[in-house]
Amino acid sequence: MKRKVSLAIGYFQNRYGDMEALNIAARLGLDAVDFETIGKRWDYRNPDSIYAKSDEEIVDYCTGLRRHAQSLGIEIGQTHGRITGFRNIPEEDDALIANARLDCLAAAALGAPHVIIHSVTTIYMGADADPALMHSLNLDMFRRILPFAKQYGVKIASETFGDATGKGCCDFFGNINEFLKSYNRVCGTDDNAHWMCTCVDTGHSNKATRFGNPSAGDVIRMLGKHVEVLHLNDNDTLTDQHKPPMTGTLNWNDIFDALDEVGYTGNYNMELNLRFFGEDMAYDMADFSVKLMRSLLRKRYGEQA
Domains in the chain: ranges and CATH = 5-304 (3.20.20.150)
pLDDT interval class at 195 (50, 70, 90): very high
Is residue 237 classed exposed, middle or buried when 0-12, 13-18 and 19+ CB atoms within 10 A define those classes? middle
Rounded CA gap, 168 and 292, in Å? 32
Degrees, nearest 5: CA angle 57-59-60: 65
Judge whether residue 304 has pLDDT over 80: no
Going by C-alpha positions, the residue among 93, 186, 85, 179 that lies closest to residue 126 is 85
Rounded to an integer, the average pLDDT of 179-199 is: 96
Using left for φ > 0, alpha for ψ between -120 and 50, and beta otherwise, residue 12 falls in alpha
235 three-state secondary structure: coil
Judge whether residue 1 has pLDDT over 80: no
pTM above 0.85, yes or no: yes
**What's the pLDDT at 305?**
59
Q: Quick: pLDDT tens for 79-126.
A: 999 999 999 999 999 999 999 999 999 999 999 999 999 999 999 999
**What's the pLDDT at 274?**
97
Degrees, nearest 5: CA angle 208-210-215: 55
| Residue type present at position 200 | V
Q: Which residues contact 12 (CB under 8 A, 6 or more apart)?
A: 20, 21, 24, 25, 274, 282, 286
Q: Report whether 163 contacts 147 (CB < 8 A).
A: no
